[in-house]
Amino acid sequence: MIRFAWVVILLSSAVGFSQDSSPQVEPVRTASDGPFIPEAALPGGIVLPLYAPDSPMLDPSRIHEAERYNTTGTYDRLLNTLNIHNPSIEVHLADGRETNGAAVIVAPGGGHKILWLGPEGLDLVPFFAEQGVSTIVLRNRLRVDGYDPMSDAVNDAFQAIRVVRAHAEQWNLDPNKIGMIGFSAGAELAAPAALFFDDFQNNHRGAGDPLANVSPRPDFVGLVYPGPTPMTREPKTAIPKNVPPSFIVCAGADDKVHAIWANDYFSPMLRAGVPNLEMHIYARGGHGGSIGDRGGIPFGTWPQRFNEWFMDLGFLGPLGETTKAARDVDAYSAR
């Protein structure tokens, strides 16, 4: 059984966010009684480490190190973090989740140097809660701390899906409505999660793995102003027959590189006829900004477009009811 701990701290709501803010970095602390487990950053959060302390996926020499937190005077809750050696999830179960059972795992961005845990993670909790959707914020390992984003961090994403799915019955979630949204560098985890879940499953079937038989496949993915996806690195990346539906969004000319990376993912999916693929490239809006309204420009409405897509695919339907997304995946797989 995976050991977990949960701690609640009270913090006020965010009043603003700028990636140009000058952060204050707290010194590194060391956990004195075992692997470091962070406190929940929002009231009611449940924090679960992704791996057992003796997991071969971890660096045993560093899992006791505390995370480092950045704060700023313009943002009233935890802004970002780094020095993550014991990756975890912070679970926020929505009131009324029994109506649909859907859950979104959120992978914040930060260029693999930090995690924008507040704006691109915690800020989504109240947004999804309005639909009765639970939000799980991922704290994955970072390149700046010596890890490989394409192996260590992607494995953290797969493991997060397995941990949430393993707790679905306990948390009144639907195990067939668990997906992932990634922002910028976080989308570099969500995109591989949509493509390589069979590889992860086949490589993590050890007899001692309590989650060996839990699927790491996400039921949907969202890529928000994404970093380079596997299709950017290898345009002929194989697309699995049961690839989940994808929602992709980015600004255009003033975030050109990320828009091109978004299209690198979208185009081969479209050519392959993958069902329920949706992409929005907005005229302007720049990079970053999470779910903010952006002063009223069209790019600020993308969360509403996501909700429409999400509802249309049946993820807000009754808990246990087969989604349109699942039926379409089955039909596509059978072709």
Contacts of 213 (CB under 8 A, 6+ apart): none
Residue 279, H or E segment? strand 278-282
Give pTM, 2 decimals. 0.90
- Record the tokens describing residue 332, joined without a space: 């596509």
Strand 178-183 relative to strand 134-139: parallel, antiparallel, unpaired? unpaired
Residue 222 CA: distances (Å) to CA of 141, 322, 324: 20, 20, 17
pLDDT digits (tens, 9 = 90+) for 181-229: 999 999 999 999 999 999 999 999 887 788 999 999 999 999 999 999 9
Task: Provide the domain limits for residue 263.
Answer: 89-334
Query: Angle at Cα 240 formed by Cα 204 and Cα 244, nearest 5°?
Result: 90
- Record the tokens describing residue 35, joined without a space: 């692997």
Residue 207 is predicted with a pLDDT of 73
Residue 156 predicted with pLDDT over 50: yes
Residue type, 91: V
Residue 223 lies in a domain: yes
d(CA 36, CA 61): 12
pLDDT digits (tens, 9 = 90+) for 39-62: 999 999 999 999 999 999 999 999
- Could you tell me what percent of the chain has a pLDDT over 90? 84
Residue 75 is predicted with a pLDDT of 64
d(CA 212, CA 190): 20
- Give the number of domains in the chain: 1
pLDDT digits (tens, 9 = 90+) for 68-97: 988 665 666 788 999 999 999 999 999 999
Residue 60 lies in a domain: no
Tell me what the mean pLDDT of segment 257-270 comes to.
Answer: 98
Structure-model confidence comparison of residues 17 and 227, the more confident one? 227
d(CA 264, CA 78): 33
Tell me what the mean pLDDT of segment 228-238 comes to.
Answer: 97
For every residue of 213-259, DSSP letters joined together read TS----S-EEEES----HHHH-TT----TTPPPEEEEEESGGGHHHH
- pLDDT classification of 162: cutoffs 50, 70, 90: very high
Residue 27 is predicted with a pLDDT of 36
Question: Any idea what DSSP says for residue 40?
Answer: P
Residue 70 lies in a domain: no
d(CA 55, CA 59): 9
d(CA 332, CA 335): 5
Residue 65 lies in a domain: no
Residue 291 lies in a domain: yes
Residue 30 predicted with pLDDT over 80: no
Handedness of CA 17, 21, 22, 28 (dihedral sign): positive
Residue 31 is predicted with a pLDDT of 46
Say if CB 188 and CB 151 are below 8 A apart: no
**Whole-angstrom Cα Rg for the chain:** 19
Write down the mean pLDDT value for the chain: 89
For every residue of 258-273, DSSP letters joined together read HHHHHHHHHHHHHHTT
- pLDDT classification of 5: cutoffs 50, 70, 90: very low
Contacts of 2 (CB under 8 A, 6+ apart): 48, 49, 51, 52, 163, 166, 210, 211
Which region among 23-32, 85-94, 170-179, 293-302 has the lowest average model confidence (pLDDT)?
A: 23-32
Residue 236 lies in a domain: yes
Strand order in the sheet with 246-251: 46-49, 88-92, 134-139, 103-107, 178-183, 221-224, 246-251, 278-282
Residue 206 is predicted with a pLDDT of 80
Residue 6 lies in a domain: no
Tell me what the mean pLDDT of segment 302-329 comes to.
Answer: 97
Residue 25 lies in a domain: no
CATH classification of the domain holding 198: 3.40.50.1820
Say if CB 174 and CB 320 are below 8 A apart: yes
